[in-house]
Amino acid sequence: MRDIFESKKARESLAKKGYAYAVEQLRFDKPGVYSKLFESVEDVTIDLRNMTREEEEEIVEGESPHKAGLLLELFNELKKITDKL
């Protein structure tokens, strides 16, 4: 959202047409800032923070091996990138 307010055109789009149009304008002004990938990363981060204790325990205790596998796969891909930072 901060990026929208920092861009005059995106701010105007937000006021006149709404959030979706502001994001679209921002894509023109700053390509790559609002990519589908990073929208998904943001959503996943929020969802992981809000995971229930019950679901977390199921994963940790081995009751949800598929979920554990997905988390490990995500971790490994993130590690490849963060090791370069």
**Given this model, what pLDDT does residue 32 score?**
64
pLDDT average, residue stretch 66-72: 98
pLDDT average, residue stretch 37-61: 93
Q: What's the rounded Cα separation, in Å, for the pair 66 and 83?
A: 26
Report the first-to-last Cα separation within the chain, whole angstroms: 24
pLDDT per residue over 2-25, tens digit each? 788 888 999 999 999 999 889 888
Domain segments of the chain: what residues? Answer: 1-34, 35-85
Output Rg (C-alpha) for the chain, integer angstroms: 18
pLDDT average, residue stretch 23-34: 76
Q: What percent of the chain has pLDDT over 70?
A: 95
Q: What's the rounded Cα separation, in Å, for the pair 14 and 17?
A: 6
pLDDT band at 49 (very low <50, low <70, confident <90, very high): very high
Instruction: Please determine, for residue 39, whether its predicted confidence score (pLDDT) is greater than 80.
Output: no
Helix (H) or strand (E) holding 1: none
